[in-house]
Structure formats: structure tokens, C-alpha cells
Amino acid sequence: MERMGIEWVEIGAGRLVARMPVAGNEQVYGVLHGGATATLCETVGSFGTAVVVGLDRRVVGIQLSVNHLRSVSNGHVTCTGTPVRVGRRVAVWDLRVADDGGDPVAVATLTVSIRDP
């Protein structure tokens, strides 16, 4: 998280929000790298699951699908994650990434495996 510049804006059982700078996370054409967007999404959903089930459980992303809607070349992107369902063994998260103006950048779905330590 530190290397990517991810910082928490809101942490709660029903919603997590984190933001990340575009600077330092660009690909060769000077726009936000899709892998950086995916990292932000997986971070929000995985940590969100840990918040809901308890930090003593292990959470591991097992499937991530990201649709990149448009590019961003400056400022920050903000990811808002809400749980679709958090069960005993699996959680599914809806993740929305927007630019500083609130325009959509990406939408993602993350499936997380919940394991005992």
C-alpha cells in the first residue's frame, strides 16, 4: 500500500474507501496502469473482508474482474468498495473507481476466500 501511495479515506463494515495517486502508478503512455487499478481494488475488497470477519482470519483474493472504462493521467483515483455478500468462507465485493471529478474509471468484482489461521 505504501509503495502504491494508497491511503484510507473511510473504513467500515458496509463500505470502504481508499484513494491512490496516478503519479508513480502510470504505464508507458502516461496514464494510470490497469494493474495499479486492480491492486487498489483488491486491497479495498480484501481489507474490507478482514474488517467484517475479523483480523484474526486470513483473507485471500481468488478472483478479480476489472473493467477499465477510461484513462486518467493526473490527480487521484478513489475506490469505493461495498460487500455484495460476506459468508463464512467466501466474500464478494463490488468496487467502483472514480477520478477526482467523480467520473467512473473502472468497475470491479472481487471474490475473496476466508480461511482460519
User: Which residues are known catalytic residues?
Assistant: 42
Spatial distance between the Cα atoms of 77 and 98, rounded to a whole number of angstroms: 5
When computed from its CA atoms, the radius of gyration of the chain, rounded to whole angstroms, is 14
Rounded Cα distance between 65 and 79, Å, is 14
SS3 50: helix
Report the Cα–Cα distance between both ends of the chain, in Å, rounded.
Answer: 22
**CA proximity to 20, closest of 65, 35, 12, 92:** 35
